[in-house]
Amino acid sequence: MDVDTAARSVVADAGFGAHFDHGLGHGVGLEIHEAPFFSQRSTGMLPAGSPVTIEPGIYLPGRGGVRIEDTILVGEGPSRSLTASPRDLVVLG
């Protein structure tokens, strides 16, 4: 299973599949957004050592949305998250 399909299946299983209508992530380098790009149309393999973002999001019309972004280092085996942000729910307002 590819990365985009795996992320979309988690969001769809939670009942929000129709609200995840953007790409999943992209490569990290000197530019803000650069190849490779992850989406439903993406093809190819990532070489070990590639830094990429994985940033699934859900946007509800008229309410707002959330996107959680992680920077991942692709490995020969398991990949490694380079993001150290906490995952605790923070309610604002």
When pLDDT is averaged across residues 8-26 and rounded to a whole number, the result is 93
Structure confidence at residue 14 (pLDDT): 94
- Give the total residue count for the chain: 93
Measured distance CA(78)–CA(42) in Å, rounded: 21
CA separation (Å) from 92 to 53, 74, 87, 88, 89?
A: 25, 33, 15, 13, 10
Does residue 87 sit within a domain? no
> Domain tally for the chain?
1
Query: Is residue 1 pLDDT above 60, yes or no?
Result: no
Alpha-carbon Rg for the chain in angstroms? 14
> Which residues form the domain of 76?
3-81
The tokens describing 39, both together, are 């989406």
Q: Is residue 43 part of a domain?
A: yes
Which pTM value belongs to this model? 0.79
Span 28-44, average pLDDT: 83
Residue-level pLDDT at 42: 78
pLDDT at 73: 94
44-88 tens-digit pLDDT: 778 889 899 999 999 999 999 988 899 999 988 889 999 998 878
Do the domain assignments include residue 88?
A: no
